[in-house]
Structure 1
Amino acid sequence: MAGVSTLPQEILMEILSKLPAKSLVRFRCVSKFFCALIAGHGFGVLNRSLSLTLPSRAGFLISIEVRPPHPAPYRRVYYTLNFSEEENPRRLQANRVGFLDAEPFLLSSSSDGLICVSKPNGDVAVCNVSTGQRIFLPRIQYKDYTLLLAYDSQSKRYKVLMSTQMIDQESSTRNKLTYYEYKQWVFTVGVDRSWREINDYYSFPFYPIDGINSPCNCSNTSVYIDGVIYSYNMQTKHSMFRRLHIVAFEVGCESFSVITLPDQVSSQSYLFFTKSALLEVGGRLAIVHVRVPDLFGEGLCYMDVWTWEKSKKCWEKIIVTIPLEWHRIICYASSLRFATNHDGEIVLLCIYGEQFFILVCNLTSEVWRKFDLSGVEDLPIFSCWEVTLHNVVDHVFPLE
Structure 2
Amino acid sequence: MADSIIPVLPREIIMEILLKLPPKSLLKFMCVSKLWLQLISSPEFVKTHLKLIANDKECICHRVILQESGDNFKVCCLPSLFYKEQRIELFDMGSPMGNPTIYTWIVGSVNGLICLYSKIEEPVLWNPTIRKSKKLPTFGANLRKDCSYYCKYGFGYDESRDDYKVVVIQCISEDGGSYDTVVNIYSLKTDSWRTINKFQGNFLVNSSGKFVDGKLYWALSADVDTFNVCNIISLDLADETWRRLELPRYVEGSYPLALGVVGGDLSLLCPNCHEVTNSDVCIMNDCGVEVSWTKIFTVDHTKDLGEFIFFSPIFSVPSCQSNKGEILVLIPPVIMLYDGSTRQLEVVDQFEECAVAEIYVESLIDPLLIANHETTLI
Do these two structures clear the TM 0.5 threshold for a shared fold by scoring above it?
Answer: yes
Unpaired segments of 5 or more residues in structure 2? 310-316, 371-378
Partners of 1:236 and 1:184 lie apart in 2 by: 19
Which residue of 2 is the match for residue 306 of structure 1? Answer: 282
TM-score normalised to structure 1 length: 0.72
Residue 182 of structure 2 corresponds to residue 180 of structure 1:
no
Task: Give yes or no for contact 1:159–1:186 (8 Å, CA) kept in 2.
Answer: yes
1:161 offset after TM fit, Å? 1.8
Which residue of 2 is the match for residue 58 of structure 1? Answer: 62
1:58 offset after TM fit, Å? 1.8
1:88 offset after TM fit, Å? 6.1
Instruction: Sort the Cα spacing of 1:83 and 1:304 in 2 relative to 1 into closer, same or farther, 3 A.
Output: same
Residue 76 of structure 2 corresponds to residue 96 of structure 1:
no
Partners of 1:112 and 1:364 lie apart in 2 by: 30
Instruction: Sort the Cα spacing of 1:181 and 1:23 in 2 relative to 1 into closer, same or farther, 3 A.
Output: same
Aligned with 1:93: secondary structure?
A: coil
Q: Deviations over 1:196-227 (max 9, x none)?
A: 2213xxx525763234xxxxxxxxx6321111
Count of paired positions: 337
TM-score normalised to structure 2 length: 0.76
1:304 offset after TM fit, Å? 0.8
Partners of 1:243 and 1:292 lie apart in 2 by: 15
Task: Give yes or no for contact 1:90–1:370 (8 Å, CA) kept in 2.
Answer: no
Task: Give yes or no for contact 1:110–1:148 (8 Å, CA) kept in 2.
Answer: no
Equivalence map 1:261-340=2 (5 Å): 261-267=247-253, 269-271=254-256, 276-289=257-270, 294=275, 302-311=278-287, 313-318=290-295, 320-322=297-299, 330-333=302-305, 335-336=308-309, 337-340=317-320
Structure 2 counterpart of 1:339, which letter?
Answer: S
Aligned with 1:76: secondary structure?
A: coil
Residue 149 of structure 2 corresponds to residue 147 of structure 1:
no
Structure 1 counterpart of 2:283, which letter?
Answer: T
Which residue of 2 is the match for residue 129 of structure 1? Answer: 128
1:246 offset after TM fit, Å? 1.0
Structure 1 counterpart of 2:30, which letter?
Answer: R
Residue 71 of structure 2 corresponds to residue 39 of structure 1:
no
Unpaired segments of 5 or more residues in structure 1? 67-74, 212-220, 296-300
Structure 2 counterpart of 1:109, which letter?
Answer: G
Residue 373 of structure 2 corresponds to residue 397 of structure 1:
no
Task: Give yes or no for contact 1:58–1:342 (8 Å, CA) kept in 2.
Answer: no
Which residue of 2 is the match for residue 216 of structure 1? Answer: none
Task: Give yes or no for contact 1:183–1:205 (8 Å, CA) kept in 2.
Answer: no
1:85 offset after TM fit, Å? 4.2
1:151 offset after TM fit, Å? 1.5
Partners of 1:158 and 1:281 lie apart in 2 by: 22
1:152 offset after TM fit, Å? 1.7
Which residue of 1 is the match for residue 79 of structure 2? Answer: 84
Task: Give yes or no for contact 2:114–2:127 (8 Å, CA) kept in 1.
Answer: yes
Instruction: Sort the Cα spacing of 1:342 and 1:157 in 2 relative to 1 into closer, same or farther, 3 A.
Output: farther
Residue 203 of structure 2 corresponds to residue 227 of structure 1:
no
Which residue of 2 is the match for residue 116 of structure 1? Answer: 115
Partners of 2:229 and 2:258 lie apart in 1 by: 17
Partners of 2:32 and 2:246 lie apart in 1 by: 53
Partners of 1:388 and 1:120 lie apart in 2 by: 16
Structure 1 or 2: larger helix share? 1
Residue 205 of structure 2 corresponds to residue 209 of structure 1:
yes
